[in-house]
């Protein structure tokens, strides 16, 4: 059971409804917005920021989905780990590739750029002050400075809101394994997944 009440889409602020079109989404796709709807002005700002991250993305969809899932593991956000976004799947994120996230630096099906981004995301999610000059130099071997900044903003979004989602314990719509609280630590690899928008 979620720790806060979910607001039904029909009861959301009218402008928030117009921005998100929840009537075309499943309950799982409505996701955290059902909680954010408690504070409509903040929710609308978040929709704008998340929309900008997606609509103006320069980074490849495959890389963003891999980073999202790796951060979800560190956050132990069960809903984040159970979901696969269609744009990532369309860009080649298969379950075999997701399994590579268990040990990304040893994986032979990840590019050097993906490994660099994943190493950065790992530290950002676990020990952000350990990120130093060498990490940024490695990122700049693969990405423009604008892309590095985009990666940082994307990872910050995933870390912060993934941790918030984990604390809310939004498990009801997830596959059974992700609902089982007796399993203390899950991973996005090797599990049943749900494909959404």
Over residues 45-69, mean pLDDT: 97
At 151-194, the pLDDT tens digits run 999 999 999 999 999 999 999 999 888 998 888 899 998 766 77
Please report where in the chains the tokens 């079109």 appear, as a residue: 21
Is 86 a residue whose pLDDT tops 80?
yes
At 99-144, the pLDDT tens digits run 999 999 999 999 999 999 999 999 999 999 999 999 999 999 999 9
Is 88 a residue whose pLDDT tops 90?
yes
| pLDDT for 190 | 73
CATH number assigned to the domain with residue range 61-196, chosen from the 4 options 2.40.50.140, 1.20.1290.10, 2.130.10.10, 3.60.15.10: 1.20.1290.10
Please report where in the chains the tokens 């991973």 appear, as a residue: 187
Q: Would you list the domain boundaries of the chain?
A: 9-55, 61-196
**Which of the 8 DSSP states describes residue 1?**
-
165 Cβ contact list (under 8 Å, min separation 6): 31, 32, 75, 77, 79, 80
**Band of residue 149 on the pLDDT scale cut at 50, 70, 90:** very high
How far is the C-alpha of 57 from the C-alpha of 181, rounded, in Å?
A: 35
How far is the C-alpha of 49 from the C-alpha of 52, rounded, in Å?
A: 5
| pLDDT for 157 | 98
How far is the C-alpha of 80 from the C-alpha of 100, rounded, in Å?
A: 17
How far is the C-alpha of 18 from the C-alpha of 133, rounded, in Å?
A: 43
Angle, to 10 degrees, between the axis of helix 61-75 and the axis of helix 145-168? 40
| pLDDT for 192 | 66
**Band of residue 90 on the pLDDT scale cut at 50, 70, 90:** very high
Angle, to 10 degrees, between the axis of helix 145-168 and the axis of helix 40-55? 140
How far is the C-alpha of 146 from the C-alpha of 161, rounded, in Å?
A: 22
Alpha-helical (H) ranges within the chain are: 14-20, 27-30, 33-36, 40-55, 61-75, 78-82, 86-90, 95-99, 112-126, 133-142, 145-168, 176-179
C-beta pairs of 173-176 under 8 Å, 24+ apart in sequence: 173/26, 173/27, 173/28, 173/79, 174/28, 174/78, 174/79, 174/82, 175/82
At 21-50, the pLDDT tens digits run 999 998 888 999 999 999 999 999 999 999
How far is the C-alpha of 52 from the C-alpha of 175, rounded, in Å?
A: 30
Burial of 29 (0-12, 13-18, 19+ CB in 10 A): middle
Is 196 a residue whose pLDDT tops 80?
no
| pLDDT for 175 | 87
């Amino acid at each position: 059971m979620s720790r806060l009440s979910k607001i039904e889409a029909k009861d959301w602020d009218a402008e928030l409804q117009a921005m998100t079109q929840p009537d075309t989404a499943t309950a799982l796709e409505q996701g955290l917005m059902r909680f954010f709807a408690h504070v409509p002005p903040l929710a609308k700002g978040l929709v704008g920021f998340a929309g900008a991250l997606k609509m103006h993305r320069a980074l490849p969809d495959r890389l963003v989905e891999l980073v999202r899932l790796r951060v979800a593991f560190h956050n132990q956000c069960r809903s984040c780990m159970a979901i696969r976004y269609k744009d990532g799947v369309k860009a080649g994120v298969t379950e075999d590739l997701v399994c590579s996230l268990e040990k990304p630096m040893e994986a032979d099906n990840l590019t050097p750029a993906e490994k660099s981004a994943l190493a950065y995301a790992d530290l950002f999610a676990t020990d952000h002050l350990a990120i130093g000059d060498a990490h940024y130099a490695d990122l700049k071997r693969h990405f423009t400075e604008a892309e590095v900044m985009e990666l940082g903003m994307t990872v910050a979004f995933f870390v912060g809101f993934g941790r918030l989602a984990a604390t809310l314990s939004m498990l009801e719509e997830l596959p059974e394994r992700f609902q089982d609280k007796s399993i203390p630590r899950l991973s996005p690899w090797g599990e049943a997944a749900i494909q959404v928008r």
